[in-house]
Amino acid sequence: MDKLDAMQIFVRVAEASTFTTVADQLQVARSVVTRQIAALEKHLRVKLITRSTRSLTLTPAGAAYLEKCRVILNLVDAAESSLEEEKAVPRGRIRLGLPLSFGLQRLMPALLDFAKAQPHIELLMDFSDQHANLIEEGLDLSIRITADLQPGDIVRMLGHCRLLTLASPAYLSEHGTPTHPEQLRNHECLVYSMTAKSATWPFQLDGQVQAFPVRGRIQANNGLALVQAAAQGMGIALQPDFIAEPFLQRHEVVEILQPFEAPPLGIYAVLPSNRYIPHRVNVLMDHLADFLGKS
């Protein structure tokens, strides 16, 4: 028997002082109500109601239990009412994890529009390129750009972006322009990493993704820093289009290896749990998905 249902029936019986009235209200047989009260008393191992031929009387334990049931049921009603209110007018706090470059360059206009449109929502933004543990860090939502989701990640896809291979005209003039990803091993590459392990870059050849080894003395965990290095003639970078666009427009870098496109990256909203997603978080995800679909 559901505990909340049992509490509700007990409160009805206690207030009506009769099984028959409650049975009529619920449109069930009187025996159904009496059995449920008996089951509740058996579960609690205490007598709640003293029955006589004419009336029902609460025992001291029953009276104490009645007050606790009223408090609990009122809290349930309040919680459900607040959810209904939140659906009508999203409100509350959202702690949002954002990748540094993408958050600043691409998402800030959408987030500011969201903040203007939703004055009852507090937006706390945490910019970092490190993968966050949402539960440990108390984040309601994190935006992640990746081709490889982790097992167990709970996500919603918001969009995608292209990876571009970039170098400055000065670098290519001095070192030559690679015409195949295999030639990257002979070039200085600007690696997105913070470890000393060997790096590979993925490219599509004949419909298949292949990984090609690259090397480089400059590494960073921020794509903007690497494209800036590429613009200064320090090497070749493989970075998302949203970082590359301003540099391409200023002709500080050019795109190379265009026949060998890198597989796109997914833009995901990562959630701490799928058990319950607050309405305000769903509203934000809808807003970002709509923005990225149009941009």
| Chain segment 164-218, per-residue pLDDT in tens | 999 999 999 999 999 999 999 999 999 987 555 568 999 998 888 999 999 999 9
| Token pair in block for residue 233 | 């003639």
pLDDT in tens, 5-51: 888 899 888 888 888 888 888 889 999 999 999 999 999 999 999 98
pLDDT at 290: 92
- Per-residue pLDDT reduced to its tens digit, 88-130: 788 888 999 998 888 988 899 999 999 999 999 999 999 987 7
Q: What is the pTM of this model?
A: 0.63
Domains (range + CATH), the chain? 3-88 (1.10.10.10), 93-161+266-294 (3.40.190.10), 163-263 (3.40.190.290)
